[in-house]
């Protein structure tokens, strides 16, 4: 009898351990919660168990009851940026979260140019590391993982920005977060969820690709690699879906190199991906992305330009913004440009202007607006030119002009205020112009405010 009683007590203790309230890894000490928002806290416990939550910024006790599936969720109102605070979550057991900040949370997604850090030898990150003691910036590094089905947790933790962890974190993400924090004074939480080499299909829910014949066909043309996944939805399931209960301010993205071969489907794929993320988060958050940089993509000299064109078209999707980095390249034979701090600054300026309403920033690159034929010349008009255009060199380069035969030849281009006049003695009756429309073009046409003019073509 004594043995039976002992076994019963052990069983009760074991059941209580399994019934104890548990949290996903993203709900932890040192996290940043999105300010002035209705945020979710969630987890698991015994079915029908009552959960009580107390937060350090007000006197309200929030209560919720777990579902029959042993899951619980509570919605908590957050104040303006500040902290640190504590959060007490109590059921059959008690969890206390410490050093919680209220601020701005950004997801840093994409492939290797977002992932790259001092681990890959980035000089800027190594030089910055000794200065990376900032309690106002927090890192959450999602490990590489895939899944055929949507997951509800990841194996990661929030850490306070420090020199050692900064060395392993996305350089673009870190410098972006540092500038947002410095400019606004808000604490910043950075969620690092990216994977070098990945095509956009793996970050998109599989049903979106599967149910679209064009996207499905393009996905079937992806080249498998031993270094990264290529199956649609698998990174989304494991590395994005588990985050979608967590309130965010927005996302930054640097990806596209692995979709150059299927550039014709990228605009549709990319905008569908953005839309799917917003639906999963139930929030129309801003999505700012980097246009891929010039690079020597094999034998086809315009595939990269066509992908950049698809990205340009994607930037017309609501609440998105694209930064041009054609001037931030040190070697067109290296797919990983090293100037991540400058890339991050352009992303941050976009976010500061559009999301945080900071005035006086010049953050949009000049972009083709229209053209007119003036006898043997073509005049190009641009958007996003506050004052004038300028050349960083003796003569403008990377302009090409064609007649009705569609044969493009190098052209002479002259700046006239906010326009550029293009001509060639070899084309008497011009029809179309291309600018920077090759894989490796690094044009020298800029706004007076220092931003490179985006590539374009007037032909179809």
pLDDT bucket at 127, cuts 50 / 70 / 90:
very high
Confidence at residue 300, expressed as pLDDT on a 0 to 100 scale = 77
- Same domain for 120 and 167, yes or no, is yes
CB distance 223 to 261 below 8 Å: yes
Q: Are residues 344 and 390 in the same domain?
A: no
72, part of any domain = yes
pTM: 0.95
> What range does the domain containing 175 cover?
103-354
Same domain, 117 and 68: no
Which of the listed residues 354, 387, 405 is the one where a domain comes to its end?
354
Structure confidence at residue 16 (pLDDT): 46
Tens of pLDDT, residue by residue over 161-189, are 999 999 999 999 999 999 999 999 999 99
Tens digit of each residue's pLDDT (9 = 90 or more) over 283-306:
999 999 999 999 999 877 999 999
Q: Could you tell me if 143 and 240 lie in one domain?
A: yes
Do 23 and 226 touch, CB atoms closer than 8 A?
no
Residues 21 and 138 in one domain: no
Q: How many domains does the chain have?
A: 3
pLDDT score of 72 more than 90: yes
**432/297 same-domain check:** no
97 lies in the same domain as 115: no
Cα–Cα distance, 80 to 37 (Å, whole number): 9
Are residues 64 and 136 both part of a single domain?
A: no
* CA 225 – CA 3 distance, rounded (Å): 57
374/227 Cα distance (integer angstroms): 52
Q: How many CB atoms lie within 10 A of CB 439?
A: 21
Instruction: Examine residue 362 and state whether it is found in any structural domain, yes or no.
Output: no
Asked if 339 and 273 sit in the same domain, the reply is yes
Same domain for 267 and 199: yes
Query: Do residues 97 and 108 both lie within one domain?
Result: no
What Å distances lie between residue 427 and 60, 396, 398, 433, CA to CA? 75, 18, 16, 11
Q: How far is CA 225 from CA 196, 197, 222, 228, 232, in A?
A: 11, 9, 9, 6, 14
Asked if residue 141 and residue 33 are part of one domain, the reply reads no
Structure tokens at 256: 């596209």
Q: Beta 389-391 vs 445-447: how paired, if at all? A: antiparallel
Q: Looking at the domain assignment, is residue 318 inside a domain?
A: yes
- End of a domain among 300, 324, 354? 354
The span from the CA of 79 to the CA of 191, in Å, is 21
pLDDT-derived band at 19 (thresholds 50, 70, 90) equals low
Six token digits for residue 40: 């979710």
**Cβ distance 444 to 396 under 8 Å?**
yes
pLDDT digits (tens, 9 = 90+) for 338-374: 999 999 999 999 999 999 999 999 999 999 999 999 9
Average pLDDT estimate for 200-207: 98
- Cα–chain center distance at 253: 2
Which CATH number goes with the domain that contains 48? 2.60.40
Report the pLDDT value the prediction gives residue 52, as an integer from 0 to 100: 98
Q: pLDDT by residue (tens digit) across 367-419?
A: 999 999 999 999 999 999 999 999 998 899 999 999 999 999 999 999 999 99
Do the bridges between strand 71-77 and strand 94-110 make them parallel or antiparallel, or are there none, so unpaired?
A: unpaired
User: Which residues, at least 6 apart from 410, have a Cβ–Cβ distance to it below 8 Å?
Assistant: 399, 400, 424
CB-based contact 150:276 (threshold 8 Å): no
For residue range 404-458, what is the model confidence (pLDDT) as tens digits? Answer: 999 999 999 999 999 999 999 999 999 999 999 999 999 999 999 999 999 999 9
| Residue 329 lies inside a defined structural domain of this protein | yes
CATH number at residue 193: 3.40.50.1110
């Amino acid at each position: 009898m004594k043995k039976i009683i002992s076994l019963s007590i052990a069983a009760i203790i074991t059941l209580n351990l399994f019934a104890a309230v548990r949290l996903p890894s993203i709900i932890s000490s040192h996290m940043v919660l999105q300010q002035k928002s209705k945020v979710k806290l969630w987890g698991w416990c015994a079915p029908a168990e009552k959960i009580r939550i107390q937060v350090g910024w007000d006197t309200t006790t929030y209560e919720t009851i777990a579902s029959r599936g042993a899951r619980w969720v509570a919605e908590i109102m957050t104040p303006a940026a500040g902290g640190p605070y504590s959060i007490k979550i109590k059921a059959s057991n008690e969890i206390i979260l410490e050093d919680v900040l209220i601020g701005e949370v950004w997801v840093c997604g994409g492939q290797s140019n977002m992932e790259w850090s001092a681990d890959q030898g980035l000089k800027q990150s190594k030089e910055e590391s000794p200065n990376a003691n900032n309690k106002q910036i927090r890192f959450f590094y999602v490990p590489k993982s895939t899944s055929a089905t949507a997951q509800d947790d990841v194996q990661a933790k929030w850490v306070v920005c420090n020199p050692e962890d900064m060395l392993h974190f996305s350089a673009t993400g870190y410098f972006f977060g540092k500038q947002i924090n410095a400019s606004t004074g808000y604490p910043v939480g950075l969620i690092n969820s990216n994977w070098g080499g990945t095509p956009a299909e793996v970050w998109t829910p599989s049903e979106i690709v599967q149910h679209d014949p064009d996207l499905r066909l393009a996905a079937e043309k992806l080249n498998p690699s031993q270094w990264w996944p290529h199956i649609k939805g698998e990174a989304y399931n494991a590395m994005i879906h588990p985050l979608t209960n967590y309130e965010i301010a927005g996302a930054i993205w640097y990806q596209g190199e692995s979709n150059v071969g299927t550039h014709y489907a990228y605009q549709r794929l990319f905008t569908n991906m953005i839309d799917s993320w917003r639906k999963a988060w139930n929030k129309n958050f801003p999505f700012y992305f980097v246009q891929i940089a010039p690079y020597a993509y094999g034998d086809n000299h315009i595939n990269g330009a066509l992908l950049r064109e698809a990205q340009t078209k994607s930037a017309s999707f609501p609440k998105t913004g694209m930064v041009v980095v054609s001037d931030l390249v040190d070697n067109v034979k290296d797919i990983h440009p090293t100037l991540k701090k400058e890339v991050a600054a352009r992303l941050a300026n976009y976010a500061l202007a559009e999301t945080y309403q900071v005035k006086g920033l010049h953050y949009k690159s000049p972009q083709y607006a229209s053209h007119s034929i003036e006898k043997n010349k073509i005049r190009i008009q641009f958007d996003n030119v506050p004052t004038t255009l300028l050349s960083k060199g003796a003569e403008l380069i990377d302009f090409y002009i064609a007649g009705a035969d569609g044969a493009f030849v190098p052209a002479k281009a002259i700046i006239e205020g906010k326009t550029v006049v293009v001509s060639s003695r070899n084309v008497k009756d011009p029809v179309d112009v291309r600018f920077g429309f090759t894989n490796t073009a690094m044009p020298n046409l800029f706004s007076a405010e220092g931003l490179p003019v985006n590539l374009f073509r007037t032909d179809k």
